């Protein structure tokens, strides 16, 4: 595993930490909304972007392609791509 | 509203501004401490560590409708009536723990050179435990253990006992070995102060790198000599210790005097404060503070105090503390602007306690058991180490306590079994004093 994703709720948001699995050092940290936190949880489970967008599209009733592009941008921002 | 201090890291960039529907009824969060100042009111948020100043008009509106003061909702000072303050506090702690810098090395070592002592204090929490001095070969192993852990970085050592100077040879031995290995170190000591002399103080500076000594004084000469009951039949231990404090100051070593307060000596300590003022007044290396004798040292003894006795003792301590401040003997601790994630060395991965037989533990109160390793071994018992982080169930008092975000009560800690109203009052007084001190210095620097 190249990275470790940790997520904790904070008020109405979620704090995401991307850590180096061998040292525990934090590479990136971000406060995100519920949808982004769900994307990251699915990513942590090993799902690829098409599977993540399919799952969340069913959950939220949002278009798959929009979720896919949001997820792509989020993962890039967190260095997960 | 003027922001004096923003939220502490990492909350500043993560919690964000609170957004509410307009007109939603609000109250102050339970963790907000109010402190009137000239021309306004300071609000200190114990959870976020933010401090704001309200003018008189805003302060006046605060009790009726905190949401009417601009900025208080956004800064989480004012929250909806149904807001779960405790849940947010737990979330903040979890986020803080998640983002805490990982500890790779032990850098802080509390070393018990011996569990034996030259005093026989009636209140000693180590009474009945085995009295073991550290042997020379163990001291060598201790030094090797420190060198291995330091990995080239400097370390902090706290000499403890028993009475650490009762076996000072191992201090010298360990320090020489650290010097030989090129490990940098600074040290401090908890001592009764009796065994210092000119030669020892000289060595404390040149070899031990001793920066600070904590010495307990239980009263004026006769009260002190009776309470400490040193094993030496001749001379006044009190006078000797006071003389040694002069030696330490002369060598540039800071001394923190702890006044253990109980019913037997509460009034006498006022006389001692006068004496210390006359003897050391203006000494910048001296700090004197008071501590309730039984509340934390022995739970068994604490519960034997009635509520009235406890109240009287705390009132007495507060008056004593006031006197110490007025006499310029007490130095106020710094105003905290960071999340509190650990209680002490016991739940801090960067600190260990080394016992005289080489066992490695987490707390000086566990000398006969509760260790998780040994200086001569690489392996340790992780379950024991982690057990020092296990928390107690919350008390009823936790629900409404303003200090809940900063309160960590481990199962293994005797000091956290009870929480008396007087302790919370004391904490409030301490926070207010620190807040005022910070605010005034901030005004000056403005």
CB contact under 8 A, A15 and B98: yes
Strand partners, B155: B185
Task: Please tell me which of the candidates B10, B16, B98 has its beta carbon nearest to residue A13.
Answer: B16
Contact B14 A29 (CB under 8 A): yes
Extents of the domains making up chain B = 2-100
Q: How many CB pairs (< 8 A) connect A and B?
A: 36
In this complex, do B91 and A6 lie within 8 Å of one another by their Cβ atoms? no
| Contacts with B85 from chain A: Cβ below 8 Å | none
Best of A4, A5, A9, A15 to mutate (most B CBs within 10 Å, chain B): A15
Interface mutation vs chain B, best among A4, A7, A9, A10, most B CBs within 10 Å: A10
Across the interface, which of A15, A24, A25 has its CB nearest the CB of B14? A15
Instruction: Read off the pLDDT band of B297 (50, 70, 90).
Output: very low
Query: Which of these ranges, A7-11, B256-260, B268-272, B290-294, has the smallest mean pLDDT?
Result: B290-294
| Per-residue pLDDT at B73 exceeds 90 | yes
pLDDT of residue B299: 46
Nearest to B95 among A15, A23, A25 (CB): A15
Rounded to the nearest angstrom, the minimum Cα separation between B95 and chain A is: 6
B21 touches chain A (CB under 8 A): no
pLDDT of residue A2 exceeding 80, the answer is yes
Q: How many helices (H) and strands (E) does chain B have?
A: 14, 15
In B, which residues are within 8 Å of A13 by CB distance? 14, 16
User: A51 phi and psi, to 5 degrees?
Assistant: -70, -40
Element (H, E) at A65: helix A64-77
**Residues of A whose CB is below 8 A from B99:** 15, 17, 26, 29
Please answer yes or no on whether B95 and A10 come within 8 Å at the CB atom.
yes
Identify the CA nearest to B84 among candidates B426, B334, B404, B348.
B404
Which of B418-422's residues contact partners 24+ apart within 8 Å by CB, and which partners? B418/B295, B418/B299, B418/B302, B418/B303, B419/B395, B420/B295, B420/B310, B420/B314, B421/B397, B422/B310, B422/B311, B422/B313, B422/B314
| A37 pLDDT more than 90 | yes
Is the pLDDT confidence value at B302 over 70? no
Model ipTM? 0.95
Contact predicate B186/B154, CB 8 Å? yes
B127-167 pLDDT tens trace: 777 789 999 999 999 999 999 999 889 999 999 999 999 99
> Which of B167, B191, B149, B204 lies closest to B360 in space, CA to CA?
B149
Residues B31, B417: Cα–Cα separation, whole Å: 22
CA distance A22 to chain B (A): 11
- A31 to chain B: which residues are within 8 Å by CB? 13-16
The confidence band for A1, taking pLDDT boundaries of 50, 70 and 90, is low
A18: nearest CA partner in chain B:
B99
Whole-number average pLDDT of chain B: 92
Task: Give the percent of chain B with pLDDT over 90.
Answer: 74
Tens-digit pLDDT profile for residues B192-239: 999 999 999 999 999 999 999 999 999 999 999 998 999 998 899 999
Q: What is the mean pLDDT of residues A25-47?
A: 96
B216, B258 contact by CB (below 8 A): yes
- Residues of chain A in contact with residue B10, where contact means CB-CB under 8 angstroms, are 29
Is the minimum CB–CB distance between B102 and chain A shorter than 8 Å?
A: yes
Report CB contact under 8 Å: B98, A6.
yes
Q: What's the pLDDT tens digit per position in B341-370?
A: 999 999 999 999 999 999 999 998 898 889
Of B92, B99, B104, the CB nearest to A26: B99
Stronger pLDDT, B130 or B404, i.e. the higher one: B404
Say yes or no: A15 contacts chain B, CB-CB below 8 A: yes
Query: Among A66-70, B130-134, B309-313, which range has the highest average pLDDT?
Result: A66-70
Instruction: Report whether pLDDT(A10) > 60.
Output: yes
B318, B429 contact by CB (below 8 A): yes
Q: Nearest-CA residue of chain A relative to B13?
A: A31
CA distance A23 to chain B (A): 8
Contact B188, B214 (CB under 8 A): yes
**Residue B91 contacts residue A11 (beta carbons within 8 Å):** yes
| Pairwise CA distance, residues B444 & B423, whole Å | 32
Residue of A nearest to B12 (CA): A31
Distance from CA of B14 to the nearest CA of A (A): 5
Q: Which two tokens stand for residue B379?
A: 């392996």
* Contact criterion met (CB < 8 Å) for B91 and A8: yes
Residue whose C-alpha is closest to residue B9's, from B341, B332, B334: B341
Q: Which residue in B102, B103, B104, B350 has the most chain A C-beta atoms within 10 A of its own C-beta, making it the best mutation to test that interface?
A: B102
Q: Is the pLDDT of residue B189 over 70?
A: yes
């Amino acid at each position: 595993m190249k990275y470790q994703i940790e997520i904790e709720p904070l008020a109405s948001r979620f704090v995401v930490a991307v850590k180096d699995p061998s040292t525990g050092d934090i590479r990136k940290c971000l406060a995100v909304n519920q949808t982004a936190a769900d994307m990251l949880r699915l990513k942590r489970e090993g799902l690829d972007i098409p599977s993540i967008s399919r799952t969340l599209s069913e959950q939220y009733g949002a278009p798959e392609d929009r979720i896919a592009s949001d997820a792509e941008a989020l993962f890039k921002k967190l260095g997960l791509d | 509203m003027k922001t004096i201090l923003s939220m502490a890291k990492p909350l500043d960039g993560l919690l964000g501004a609170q957004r509410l529907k307009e007109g939603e009824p609000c109250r102050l969060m339970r963790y907000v401490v109010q402190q009137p100042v000239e021309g306004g009111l300071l609000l200190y948020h114990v959870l976020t560590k933010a401090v704001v100043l309200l003018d008189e008009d805003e302060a006046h509106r605060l009790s009726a409708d905190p949401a009417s003061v601009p900025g208080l909702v956004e800064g989480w000072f004012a929250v909806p009536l149904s807001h779960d303050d405790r849940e947010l506090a737990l979330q903040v702690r979890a986020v803080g723990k998640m983002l805490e810098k990982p500890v790779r090395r032990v850098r802080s070592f509390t070393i018990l050179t011996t569990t034996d002592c030259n005093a026989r204090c009636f209140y000693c929490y180590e009474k009945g435990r085995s009295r073991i001095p550290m042997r020379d070969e163990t001291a060598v192993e201790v030094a090797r253990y420190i060198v291995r852990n330091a990995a080239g970085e400097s370390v902090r050592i706290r000499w403890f006992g028993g009475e650490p100077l009762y076996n000072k040879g191992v201090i010298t031995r360990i320090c020489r070995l650290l010097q030989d290995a090129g490990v940098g170190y600074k040290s401090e000591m908890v001592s009764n102060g009796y065994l210092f002399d000119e030669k020892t103080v000289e060595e404390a500076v040149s070899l031990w790198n001793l920066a600070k000594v904590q010495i307990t004084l239980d009263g004026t000469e006769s009260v002190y000599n009776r309470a400490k009951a040193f094993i030496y039949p001749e001379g006044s231990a009190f006078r000797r210790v006071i003389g040694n404090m002069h030696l330490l100051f002369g060598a540039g070593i800071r001394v923190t005097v702890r006044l253990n307060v109980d019913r037997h000596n509460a009034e006498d300590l006022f006389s001692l404060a006068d004496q210390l003022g006359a003897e050391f007044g203006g000494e910048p290396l001296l700090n004197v503070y008071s501590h309730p004798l039984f509340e934390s040292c022995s739970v068994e003894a604490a519960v034997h105090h009635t509520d009235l006795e406890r109240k009287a003792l705390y009132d007495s301590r507060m008056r004593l503390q006031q006197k110490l401040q007025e006499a310029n003997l007490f130095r106020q601790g710094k105003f905290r602007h960071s999340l509190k994630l650990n209680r002490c060395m016991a739940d801090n991965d960067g600190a260990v306690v080394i016992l005289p037989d080489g066992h490695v533990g987490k707390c000086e109160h566990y000398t006969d058991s509760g260790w998780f390793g040994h200086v001569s071994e690489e392996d340790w018992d992780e379950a024991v180490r982690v057990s020092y982080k296990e928390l107690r169930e919350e008390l009823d008092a936790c629900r409404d306590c303003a200090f809940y975000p900063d309160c960590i009560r481990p199962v293994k800690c005797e000091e956290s079994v009870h929480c008396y109203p007087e302790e919370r009052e004391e904490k409030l007084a301490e926070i207010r004093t620190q807040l005022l001190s910070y605010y005034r210095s901030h005004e000056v620097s403005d």
